[in-house]
Amino acid sequence: MTVSVGDTAPDFSLPDQDKQVVTLTDLRGAPVLLVFYPFAFSGICTGELCQLRDELATYTDAGVKVLAVSTDPVFSLKAFREKEGLDFPLLSDFWPHGATAQTYGVFNEKAGMALRATYLLDADGVVTFAQVNQPGDAREQSAWKDAVGQLAA
């Protein structure tokens, strides 16, 4: 079952690219943009995360913390972050493989990867925006910015 608008986002604790554990509930008090993506270094994912990098101020200026989640191991995420100059945490849902994506209902079991899913959580952890795209279907990030604007209003 996919997490929907109005749901409280399921908590998780995942290591980032530097093996520092990030726990979602520890971020309460600020909005969070949670971006699941299939794989580091893949074409569409790289394009999406680089666009997010280039437009990061849209989110951070509104007080939104950005977290990107994939099923890649931390070592791949560290190399990906350094190569692309990504300035937000890349979280590893590697082991147990895809457990967090499964909890959100956005795990493609056949391919062993997360779907392209985006959630905007308010300061209390309630989902205010949810979008799930299939593999190969790039996301239009203007919807994310609109959701951030509505949350800030």
For residues 44 and 122, the answer to whether their CB atoms sit within 8 Å is no
**Residue 38 to residue 111: CA distance in whole angstroms:** 9
50 is a catalytic site residue = no
The radius of gyration of the chain's CA atoms, rounded to the nearest angstrom, is: 14
DSSP H helical ranges for 41-73: 43-54, 56-60
The single residue of 24, 32, 33, 45 carrying the catalytic annotation is 45
In whole angstroms, what is the distance from residue 109 CA to residue 70 CA?
Answer: 13
Rounded distance, CA 147 to CA 133, Å? 17
If DSSP codes are grouped into helix, strand and coil, which group holds residue 32? strand
Peptide bond between residue 135 and the one before it cis (omega within 30 degrees of 0): no
- Catalytic residue ranges: 45
